[in-house]
Amino acid sequence: MTAPAYLAAVRASYDTVAADYARLVKPPAEMGPTALSVLAAFTGLVRGSRLGPVADMGCGPGRVTAYLAGAGLPMVGLDLSPRMVGPARRAYPGLPFVVGSMTAAGFGSGTLGGVLAWYSTHHTPPEWLPVVFGEFHRTLAPGGHLLLGGHVGDERRRPVEAYGHPVTYESHLLPLDRIAGLLERTGLVVTARLEEAPTGPAGRTYAYLLVRRPAR
């Protein structure tokens, strides 16, 4: 499959902001209680299933990858940006990190016990989400779990600056119901959903979906 055109802008933008992104984004220990509780629930589900490793798709500098590894999950991080993956490898030399795209993740079919998509799908145009979610379904083992967290809404954003640098990516905020529907069309099952009230000066709304690939 030919790589989608939007990936070039996402890769270039995150290569540009990588150093300051790692400096400015909160580490897991400073996340709010809701996010930490959702990560803990996902950890418990995956650890109990014992189906295989967990892929953190869109892992950035690897902090959440390492956080879940510290909680006992066998983790591997994947990110589109080489300049994100390089620092992740240096910071966490005991964990595997690979450069790759969620549209063609490179993991074997049915080999993952879990997939984490933590604030990593919002740069995907809506017409490409079925491909990404199809990869989540393909790579998950039957009975495996997915946690998707991120911003929700109903708008398309075209920022020109982020983390103190120029960027060319777009952000596509979709309603939670639409995201859940797209996931379920791939054959995945949404088992829990949580949408927080808008917070902060930007008034952003955060949401989390726990999803499962049905067992055979």
**Would you tell me how many other CB atoms lie within 10 Å of the CB of residue 157?**
13
Task: Look up the pTM and report it.
Answer: 0.95
Residue ranges of the alpha helices (H) in 125-173? 129-139
Point out which residues pair with 98 in neighbouring strands.
78
Q: Strands 155-157 and 171-173: what pairing? A: antiparallel
Coil vs helix vs strand at 14:
helix
Name 93's Cβ contacts closer than 8 Å, sequence gap at least 6: none
Entry field: residues in the chain = 216
Point out which residues pair with 75 in neighbouring strands.
54
Q: Residues 39, 147: contact at Cβ < 8 Å?
A: yes
Encode pLDDT of 23-67 as tens digits: 888 899 899 999 999 999 999 999 988 899 999 999 999 999 999
pLDDT by position in tens, the chain (length 216):
677 999 999 999 999 999 999 888 889 989 999 999 999 999 999 998 889 999 999 999 999 999 999 999 999 999 999 999 999 999 999 999 999 999 999 999 999 999 999 999 999 999 999 999 999 999 999 999 999 999 999 999 999 999 999 999 999 999 999 999 999 999 999 999 999 887 766 678 899 999 999 997
Render the burial of 191-207: b for 16+ CB within 10 Å, e for the rest: eeebeeeeeeeeeebbb
CATH number listed for the domain at residues 6-212: 3.40.50.150
